[in-house]
Amino acid sequence: MPLSGSIAGGTGRPLGYWVKLVDSLLEESMSADADEWGGLSRRHWQVFSVIRDGASSTAQVDAVLAPFVHAPGGTGTTSLLVDDLRHRGWVAGHEHVEGAPDDVGTLAVTVAGEAAYEELQAVITRRRELAGEGIAARDYEVTVATLERVARNLGWQGDAR
């Protein structure tokens, strides 16, 4: 099946167009809130969430966020973002434990970080609700599953989460 086409009201633009456009618009929408949060970017939010979910080293964060870190324009590592979160007082610990394997660190979200996370989560939830307005839950699930299938067809072998 080709990765282009049209349904009633569609433009016939290919999948890649919509993927890039939606990604760009997600970046812009997060940037709209960045001033309120002292320059916090979408990537900051992703790094912050991954650490909050249990990643304890930059190697672990980099592995989870590999599509963003290694994409054109990516930095190859999240260490600068981790440093910024540490300077904000939201994350504490070391990105890597000396003498340990690369994926061993002591990063963790602080009490202040938990409070900031809860506030940011409300902003992110509003953005997600806006993005999903008028889309049935099943349609969203099918879209995500379809994009994952496309990624796997193109060689992605990441963990299913």
Span 6-17, mean pLDDT? 72
Asked whether residue 161 carries a pLDDT value surpassing 70, the answer given is no
Give the model confidence (pLDDT) of 110-147 as tens digits: 999 999 999 888 888 888 898 889 999 999 999 999 99
User: pLDDT at position 160, please?
Assistant: 47
What angle do the packed helices 15-34 and 42-52 form, to 10 degrees? 90
- Are the C-beta atoms of residues 131 and 26 closer than 8 Å to each other? yes
In a domain, 125, yes or no: yes
Give the model confidence (pLDDT) of 57-106 as tens digits: 999 999 899 887 766 655 678 889 999 999 999 999 988 888 888 788 89
In a domain, 6, yes or no: no
> How far is 61 from 82, CA to CA, in rounded Å?
9
Structural domain that includes position 48: 15-153
The total number of structural domains that make up the chain:
1
- Are the C-beta atoms of residues 81 and 44 closer than 8 Å to each other? yes
In a domain, 3, yes or no: no
**Which CATH number do you get for residue 117?**
1.10.10.10
In a domain, 1, yes or no: no
Q: Which residue has the higher pLDDT, 67 or 34?
A: 67
